[in-house]
Amino acid sequence: MKRVVRFGERQVSLEWKAGGGRIAAVIDSRGYEVSVLEVEPGVYSILAGTRAYEVRVAGGERKWMVQSGGKSWQAEVIDPRAASARRGGLGREGRQVLAAPMPGKVVRVLVEEGAMVEEGQGLVVVEAMKMQNEMKAPKAGKVVALAARAGSSVAAGDELVTLE
Amino acid sequence: MFRKVLIANRGEIAVRVIRALREMNIPSVTVYSDADRASLAVRMADEAVYIGESPSAESYLRIDRILDAARATHAQAIHPGYGFLSENAAFAQACEDSGLTFIGPSAESIRKVGSKTAARQLAKAAGAPIVPGVEEAVAPGAEAHRVAREIGYPVLLKAAAGGGGKGMRRVDREEDLDSALRDASSEAERSFKSGEVYIEKLVPRPRHIEIQVLGDRYGHLIHLGERECSLQRRHQKVIEESPSPVMLEYPELREAMGEAALRVARAAGYYNAGTCEFLVDEDRRFYFLEMNTRLQVEHPVTELATGLDLVKLQLEIAAGKRLAIGQKDVKLSGSAIECRIYAEDPDHGFLPSPGRILQLREPSGPGIRLDSGVYPGWNVPMDYDPLLAKLAVWAESRPAAIARMRRAISEYAISGIQTNLEFFRGILADAEFANGRLHTAFLDDYFARAARDTGPESDLFDIAVIAAALHATAAKPLQQVPSASGSAWRRSGLRELMR
C-alpha cells in the first residue's frame, strides 16, 4: 500500500506490506520490519527488532495528532491516487483570510467593513481560557468581508476578516 | 470539626480539596456550571450543586448562588480554592454573615492586603522592602503618563485586585502606555471585577520567590519556607520548586525573607494559609510584591518539602484549632519540583487548546504526585483557565528531582488536545535550568537559544509515520461515523490490514 504522509513540516512517502501481525515498510529509502499491536484504541506498541516504541494517534477526519517519545506531530495521510484531485483552489491572489487561531469568543471587533488597515493593525480580539489574543492584519489592505461579531463564539479556523 | 464542607471552585483544586476532606472523613459538596457537569470534581464529590451557566460570571463568581448551595446542602464551611472568589473580601464577609466559615483569612485581612496597592502600603509601614512605584491605582491619561515617567521606563502595570498575570503589562515605551493601560484594565475588570491598575518599576532579571505563611486564629504565625517560581510565561508560573536553588547556596536569605513575610502577615492580622510574593534581584536584595490571601496553585511543592498537608491545616485552623507546630519544627528536606500542565499549543505561541481529551496516560511510581482535574473523554472547556494538572515530584536532591521529573514526563501522554508536556522535556534537559540560575525572563532566553528539536531523521519519526499511516488507513470505514474513534470498527479495520 502506498501513502503520502505530511508529518509536521515534512512530507514523506511510505510503502508498506502487512501480514501476520508484521509490517514491512519503506519510508523514502529506509526499510523497516516491525511488529505492531494496537494495545489501546489509537495506541500502538511497535517493536522494531528489540527496540520498543509506543505511538499514540488521535483525532481528526484526515488530520491526526501523533505522539511518541515525548514528541508530537500533526499528520495528514494522503492516498496518492486521490491527492492530485485535492490540489489547487487555494488562496486567491492578494486576498488574505484571517481565521480564528483557537476556539473562543470574539470580544472586540476593532475595524469596520470597507475600512483600510495598516499592516500589523489590530483587527479582532478573540478570547479563550481567559487569554485575549489580538489578531493583527498580516498586510495593509481593505476589509472586504467581516465575519467576526463581538460576543459570538468561534471554532478554530473560522473566518474572521478578509483583507484585499 | 466541620460536618460538611462546600468547595467553591472547579478543576484540579476542587479535586485536591475533596481528597483532603475524604481523608478527614468530612463529606464534600462541589458546585458546577454547565461546562462542568461531567467534571472529575463532580464525579468525586459526595454532593454536587448546579450554580449556573459556563461563563464564570454566571457561576463560579456568583456569591448568591454559592451561598444558596451551601445552605441547601447544610454545609458548614466553604473552601474557596484559588482564583474565582478566593480573594474576594465581600465573599468572605458574606460567608461570615450567613453563619458559614470561610476557609481562609478574615474578610478584614483580605481587605488589608487583598489589593496590591493596599498591601504595598501595609508592607512599607511594617518594614518590609517594596519595589519602587505608586501605592495608588492610577487613572489613565495624563496622570498615568506623569507617574510612569517619574518611575522611569520600563514599567509594569498591574491589576490592583489581581494575580496570576491577569491584567499585567510590561511597558517599555511611553507610546505603548495608553493601549497597555486599556488592555490591562479591561482584563482586570473581567477577571477580578475591578479595573484598577497601578504602576511600578520593572526590576530586571529578578527571581520570583514566595514565602508560605500559616497562622491560627490565636496569633501564632509561622512560615513554611519558600517556593521558587521564576519560570514564568506571560507572568503565569510554569515550574515551581522548593527549596529555591538560591536558598541552597544562601540559607540565611530564607530567614530574612521569612521574617519579612511574617511582618506583613502580622500587620494584616492574618490567619490561615497565605503567601507573600517577593522579587529577588541579582544581588539577592528582595522586594515584597503582594500577598495572596489563599492557598496557592503551587502549594504541593511546599507540602512535599515540609511533609505538611496545607489543606488539612487550613481546615483545622478554620475550625478553630490551634496550630500545633512552631517555627523550629519546620524543615525543608530534599527537593520538590512541580510542572503545570496546561492545555495550550507550544507550536503556536502557547495559544489555549480546549477540547476533548481522547487518550491519557498518567505517570506514577516513586516520588510522583499528580494533582489532576481531567480524565480521558473529558472536554476541557474554553471558559476557564487552561490548567489541566500539576505534576510534582520529590527526591533527595535537586538533580535527582529533575531526573525524576524527566522520567515522569516521559510517562505522561495526553492526546486530543495540545499540551505543554513536550516543552517540559526540553526545559528539564537544559543546562541553565540544571545550574539553578533562574529569573523571570528565563523562558524568553530559553526559547531564543533552544532551537526546536524536530528530529526528522530519527527512527522514532519513521515509526510514528508508520503508525499514523496504519491508523488512518484502518480508520477509513469510520470517516462517515464521526465520534466513534477507537471503536470496534476501527479495530477490525486494523485487523483486516494486518491479515
pLDDT in tens, B344-355: 987 778 889 999
* The three cell numbers locating residue B244: 529555591
pLDDT of residue B366: 98
Residues B51-74: what's their mean pLDDT?
98
Q: What is the CATH number of the domain that holds A127?
A: 2.40.50.100
Quote the domain boundaries for residue A82.
Answer: 2-86
Co-location of A124 and A49 in the same domain: no
Co-location of A58 and A80 in the same domain: yes
* The three cell numbers locating residue B310: 496545607
pLDDT at position A61 over 80? no
Q: Say if A57 falls within a structural domain.
A: yes
Rounded Cα gap, residues B123 and B105, in angstroms? 17
pLDDT of residue B67: 98
Lowest-confidence region among B148-152, B183-187, B402-406, B492-496: B492-496
Q: What is the pLDDT of residues A8-59, one digit of tens each?
A: 778 888 888 887 778 899 988 889 999 999 888 899 999 998 899 999 998 7
Q: Highest mean pLDDT range out of B1-5, B149-153, B455-459?
A: B1-5
- Partner-chain contact B460 A68, CB within 8 Å: yes
Q: Which CATH fold would you assign to the domain B132-201?
A: Dna Ligase; domain 1 (3.30.1490)
pLDDT at position B481 over 60? no
pLDDT of residue A30: 87
Q: Say if A41 falls within a structural domain.
A: yes
Are B392 and B375 in contact by the 8 Å Cβ rule? The answer is no
Q: What is the pLDDT of residues A82-123, one digit of tens each?
A: 654 444 333 344 678 888 877 888 988 999 999 999 888 889
Q: Under DSSP, is residue B30 helix (H, G, I), strand (E, B) or coil?
A: strand
pLDDT at position B121 over 70? yes
Q: Which CATH fold would you assign to the domain B5-103?
A: Rossmann fold (3.40.50)
- Please confirm, yes or no, whether B182 is among the known catalytic residues: no
pLDDT of residue B456: 47
Q: Say if A146 falls within a structural domain.
A: yes
Residue B359 burial by Cβ neighbours in a 10 Å radius (0-12, 13-18, 19+): buried
The residue to which cell 512599607 is assigned: B124
Rounded Cα gap, residues B352 and A56, in angstroms? 21
Using CB atoms, which residue from A56, A65, A102 is nearest to B351? A102
pLDDT of residue B476: 53
Distance of CA B173 to the CA centre of its chain: 30
Looking at A65, A86, A107, the residue that finishes a domain is A86
Using CB atoms, which residue from B352, B415, B469 is nearest to A56? B415
Co-location of A77 and A100 in the same domain: no
Co-location of A74 and A104 in the same domain: no
pLDDT at position B203 over 70? yes
pLDDT of residue A7: 84
Co-location of A77 and A7 in the same domain: yes
Q: Say if A70 falls within a structural domain.
A: yes
Which of B294, B340, B369, B404 is an active site residue?
A: B294
Residues B36-53: what's their mean pLDDT?
98
pLDDT at position B486 over 50? no
pLDDT: which is higher, B462 or B37: B37
Are B79 and B100 in contact by the 8 Å Cβ rule? The answer is no
pLDDT of residue A87: 42
Bridge partner residues of A23 (DSSP) = A18, A34
Lowest-confidence region among A51-55, B124-128, B463-467, B492-496: B492-496
pLDDT of residue B485: 45
Over the range B423-437, which residues count as b (16 or more CB within 10 Å of their CB) and which as e?
bbbbbbeeeebeebe
* Chain A neighbors of B166, CB-CB under 8 A: 130
- The CATH superfamily holding the domain B207-449 is ATP-grasp fold, B domain (3.30.470.20)
Q: Say if A78 falls within a structural domain.
A: yes
Co-location of A11 and A76 in the same domain: yes
Give the count of domains, chain A.
Answer: 2
Q: Say if A91 falls within a structural domain.
A: no
Q: Say if A138 falls within a structural domain.
A: yes
- Partner-chain contact A19 B499, CB within 8 Å: yes
Rounded Cα gap, residues A107 and B443, in angstroms? 29
| B478 at interface of A, judged by CB pairs closer than 8 A | no
Co-location of A81 and A122 in the same domain: no
pLDDT of residue A46: 94
| B188 at interface of A, judged by CB pairs closer than 8 A | no
pLDDT at position B496 over 80? no
Co-location of A76 and A136 in the same domain: no
pLDDT of residue B482: 38
| A42 at interface of B, judged by CB pairs closer than 8 A | yes
- Reported as a pLDDT band with limits 50, 70 and 90, residue B453 is low
pLDDT of residue A12: 85
- Partner-chain contact A70 B421, CB within 8 Å: yes
Using CB atoms, which residue from A12, A25, A104 is nearest to B382? A104
pLDDT of residue B491: 59
Rounded Cα gap, residues A163 and A99, in angstroms? 11
Alpha-carbon separation of residue B443 from B7, B171, B360, B375, B400 (angstroms): 34, 19, 27, 29, 22
Co-location of A15 and A58 in the same domain: yes
Q: What is the pLDDT of residues B252-306, one digit of tens each?
A: 999 999 999 999 999 999 999 999 999 999 989 999 999 999 999 999 999 999 9
Q: How far apart are the first and last CA of chain B?
A: 64
- Partner-chain contact A30 B348, CB within 8 Å: no
Task: Indicate the domain borders of chain B.
Answer: 5-103, 132-201, 207-449, 459-498
Return the CA Rg of chain B.
23
pLDDT of residue B182: 92
Q: Say if A52 falls within a structural domain.
A: yes
- Reported as a pLDDT band with limits 50, 70 and 90, residue B116 is confident
Lowest-confidence region among A61-65, B38-42, B278-282, B404-408: A61-65
- HEC readout, chain A: CEEEEEECCEEEEEEEEEECCEEEEEECCEEEEEEEEEEECCEEEEEECCEEEEEEEECCCCEEEEEECCEEEEEEEECHHHHHHHCCCCCCCCCEEEECCCCEEEEEECCCCCCEECCCCEEEEEEECCEEEEEECCCCEEEEEECCCCCCEECCCCEEEEEC
* Chain B neighbors of A67, CB-CB under 8 A: 413, 415, 464
The residue to which cell 531523521 is assigned: B457
Among chain A residues, CA nearest to B351: A102
| B494 at interface of A, judged by CB pairs closer than 8 A | yes
Task: Kindly indicate whether the ipTM for this predicted assembly is greater than 0.95, answering yes or no.
Answer: no
Rounded Cα gap, residues B315 and B1, in angstroms? 8
Are B310 and B352 in contact by the 8 Å Cβ rule? The answer is no
Looking at A35, A67, A86, the residue that finishes a domain is A86
pLDDT at position B195 over 80? yes
Q: How many residues does chain B have?
A: 499
Rounded Cα gap, residues B212 and B56, in angstroms? 28
pLDDT of residue A81: 66
Co-location of A16 and A80 in the same domain: yes
pLDDT: which is higher, B433 or B115: B433
Lowest-confidence region among B73-82, B110-119, B278-287: B110-119
Are B209 and B226 in contact by the 8 Å Cβ rule? The answer is yes
Co-location of A11 and A39 in the same domain: yes
pLDDT of residue B403: 98
- Partner-chain contact A14 B466, CB within 8 Å: yes
pLDDT of residue B479: 35
Residues B177-195: what's their mean pLDDT?
89
